[in-house]
Amino acid sequence: MIIIGERVNATRKAIKTAIEQKDRDGIISEITLQDKYGADYIDLNAGTGSGTVQQEMDDLCWLVDIALECTEKHLVLDAASPEILSNAAEHLNNRRPWMLNSINGELSQEELGIIELAASYQVPLIALAMDSDGIPPTVEKRLAICETIMQECESRGLGEDKVFFDPLVLPISTDHKQALVTFQTIAKIKERFPKAKTTLGLSNVSHGLKKRALVNGSFLTTAACFGLDSAICDPSRKSIRRAIVTGDLLGGKDRFCRKFSRSLRQGLFDEEKK
Amino acid sequence: MSKNKTLEALKHAIVMGHLDSDDEGYDGMMEGTPGTMELVETALGDGIDPQVILTTFNEAMEKVGVKFESGEYLLPDMLASAECVGEAMDILEPKLAAGSGSGKGKFLIATVKGDLHDIGKNIVITMLKGAGYQVKDLGIDVPADDIVAAIKEYQPNYVGLSALLTTTMIEMEQVVKKIREAGFNDVKIFIGGAPTSEEFAKKIGADMHCRDAMDTIEKIEGTQDAS
């Protein structure tokens, strides 16, 4: 499982504050925490929602500089505007392997610009299975959006192997079949685009429920069994790490159950002391 | 690398289940370092006697057996090591055959008619290969006559019969009877599977009862020492 650490996102209040106050140490601790717990990529999002485009541009470069200094992990440049991403890409200058987050099936000029940016650097791009009408509730519609996105990517020189599809998930509290829709969408994407990867954010599934860590973890484990390649998540949470290890174990990705047994030895599955 | 160091490294690679340089090994840190396959080639290239290499395999698997018995290793860890030896035997076997006596003998194995279980049988196969035996697997649900025919063709030193059901363990009795009736009195018959027991083995005239894969290895090695 490719783990994309989601913590450095300005939609979180602590990160928004850290960016606004240029709290370097605050950001460093967020990054190194995820590094320590096995993130493969560190997502960097500077969209505080309160500043100008120029401000977000500068802030994202500031995050990139910090990340380059405090971790060896790969980076994810996360923003909605191609100008901001393009500027950050130029600043990063391939000093580290990286990818882009994200576009969706709306395919506005902005999004086409992001596809072109990904193509020009030949880096992976996360693509969400939704469009201007939102997240469709059916497998068929989500897959149709993926088809459209893939056509646009390929016509702009971004190959199937560079696309990470996020099948997305709607809360099961309002439609109890929605986790299943996500699992089936993952399987369909893998079937239709065997070279593409799938990734997934988790927390939406348990919106409005209790014991959310349990629900999110079970959701991730099951998604792994349906072929999920990557998760956008917080690996510093034990429930997430457990879900990833058991997902790889049950999903047929853990030869000789080695990751499982290593995690066992490291105490990942020990009972919590009350 | 001196010959001793090569053999030490080989033993370590097997204990760690480190198949080749692409493999991560038991501790997950060994990718990129020479594994069992590379080290066997190195050992042969250094002119180490294939028989000595075989001894190293055995020492390594004994160590793995101890780790498994103590609970330090899980079943898949032990299978990873056994797979290393099984794969390495493919390289070593022709060299052994060129010299004196080859390997430790041939083992024919089957799950008896009416029984479709093969997990236990397959673990035993991996372990036997790991211990240096040539194994012929007839599969599951195998009629007695097919087993007898295979003995004729393959001339094994040992026959292993597996059954997981109380109903199919009765079939074992028929198989043993037919093997002996066909005149194969020297072939050693091993039986195993959850419902079987020492007493049952005695009653039907089998030579050995094996509780599990490790027990099979210990008992078969015992017959080797005796001969």
Note the pLDDT tens digit of each residue in A167-204.
Answer: 999 999 999 999 999 999 999 999 999 999 999 999 89
Q: Say how many CB pairs under 8 Å bridge A and B.
A: 19
Residue A11 belongs to domain spanning: 2-265
Is residue A273 one of the residues assigned to a domain?
Answer: no
- CATH, range B3-98: 1.10.1240.10
Query: Is A272 inside a domain boundary?
Result: no
CA distance A247 to A99: 24
Rounded CA separation B68/B8 (Å): 20
Between chains, do A257 and B76 touch, taking CB under 8 Å as contact? yes
End-to-end alpha-carbon separation of chain B, Å?
37
Distance CA A202, CA A244 (A): 12
Does domain B106-226 fall under CATH 3.90.550.10? My reply is no
pLDDT > 90 fraction of chain B, expressed in percent and rounded = 58
For residue A176, CA distances in Å to A137, A179, A255 come to 11, 7, 34
List chain B residues with CB under 8 Å of A261: 74, 76-77
Report the Cα B206 to chain-centroid distance in Å: 19
Q: With respect to residue A270, please indicate whether it lies within any of the assigned structural domains.
A: no
Asked whether residue B33 carries a pLDDT value surpassing 70, the answer given is yes
In tens, the pLDDT along B55-91 reads 898 889 889 988 988 999 998 998 899 899 889 988 8
Residue B100's pLDDT is: 43
Residue B97 has pLDDT above 70, yes or no: no
CATH 3.40.50.280 boundaries in chain B: 106-226
Interface test with B, best of A255, A256, A266, A269 (most B CBs within 10 A): A256
Q: What is the CATH number of the domain that holds A218?
A: 3.20.20.20
Query: Quick one: pLDDT at residue B142?
Result: 96
CB B161 within 8 A of CB B171: no
Question: What ipTM is given for this predicted complex?
Answer: 0.73
- On whether the CB atoms of residues A214 and A246 are closer than 8 A, the answer is no
Check B77 against A256: CB less than 8 A apart: yes
The domain tally of chain A equals 1
pLDDT at B102 over 70: no
Spans of chain A, pLDDT less than 70: 273-274
The pLDDT of residue A261: 96
Chain A hits for B79, Cβ within 8 Å: 256
Calculate the CA dihedral of residues A182, A183, A186, A187 and round it to 10 degrees.
-140
* Residue A53 touches partner B, C-beta closer than 8 Å: no
- Residue B99: pLDDT band by 50, 70, 90 thresholds? very low
Residue B101 banded pLDDT, cuts 50, 70, 90: very low
**Region(s) of chain B under CATH 1.10.1240.10:** 3-98
Q: Which one of B15, B73, B74, B83 would you mutate to disrupt binding with A, by most A Cβ within 10 Å of its Cβ?
A: B74
Distance CA A9, CA A7 (A): 6
When pLDDT is averaged across residues B3-27 and rounded to a whole number, the result is 95
Higher local confidence (pLDDT), B97 or A268: A268
Q: Which two tokens stand for residue A223?
A: 């998604």
How far is A184 from A186, CA to CA, in rounded Å?
5
B74 CB neighbours in chain A (<8 A) are 257, 261
Q: Is the pLDDT of residue B224 over 80?
A: no
Query: What pLDDT is attached to residue B1?
Result: 67
- Of A8-12, B102-106, B113-117, highest mean pLDDT: A8-12
Query: Confidence band (pLDDT; 50, 70, 90) for B22?
Result: very high
Question: Which band of pLDDT confidence, cut at 50, 70 and 90, is reported for residue B227?
Answer: low
Is A82 inside any structural domain?
yes
Q: Which residues of B touch A259 (CB under 8 A)?
A: 28
Distance CA A83, CA A253 (A): 38
Which of the residues B14, B22, B24 would you substitute to probe the A interface, choosing the one with the greatest number of A C-beta atoms within 10 Å? Answer: B24
Distance CA B10, CA A80 (A): 54
Question: Quick check: is A144 in a domain?
Answer: yes
